[in-house]
């Protein structure tokens, strides 16, 4: 199933054709900590270099770190390996957790029982008069 899956399923990682196209028509620029590989090659209609990413795993744009996102969208021409080290207070990026067990659920969510905390009475509705 692995070979057939890699040929026909584009939503769960890159297909074989995409990988071959990237290796033949693009120049490998770098790789991030998640294993995503970044390429550059050819030109767009406005004359800029075409840039793309081959995800390591599922195709989820939230898995692209901010540094690589700026490079992909031509905000900067500097690749992250040329940037200074991240500050100590910066957190590591998280993938989109929607639909997973780790997704945020507020206390009144149906998945957590659907019971909201009682109103405290500190809210006063706005009135124009």
Residue in the structure block whose two tokens are 């898995």:
63
SS3 (DSSP) at 37: strand
SS percent in the chain: helix, strand, coil, step 5: 25, 15, 60
One pLDDT digit (tens) per residue for the chain, 129 residues: 466 655 565 555 565 556 555 566 788 899 988 889 899 988 888 888 889 888 887 777 888 888 899 999 999 888 888 888 888 998 877 778 888 888 888 888 888 777 777 777 787 889 898
Give the global pTM: 0.60
Q: In the chain, where does DSSP find H-type helix?
A: 2-8, 16-25, 66-72
């Amino acid at each position: 199933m692995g070979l057939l899956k890699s040929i026909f399923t584009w939503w769960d990682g890159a297909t074989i054709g995409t990988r071959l196209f990237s290796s033949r028509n693009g120049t490998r620029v770098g790789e991030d900590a998640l294993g995503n590989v970044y390429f550059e090659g050819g030109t767009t209609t406005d004359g800029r270099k075409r840039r793309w990413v081959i995800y390591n795993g599922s195709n989820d744009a939230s898995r692209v770190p901010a540094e690589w996102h700026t490079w992909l969208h031509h905000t900067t021409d500097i690749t992250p390996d040329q940037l200074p080290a991240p500050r100590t207070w910066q957190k590591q990026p998280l993938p989109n957790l929607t639909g997973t067990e780790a997704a945020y659920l507020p206390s009144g969510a149906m998945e957590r029982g659907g019971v909201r905390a009682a109103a405290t009475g500190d809210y006063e509705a706005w009135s124009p008069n």
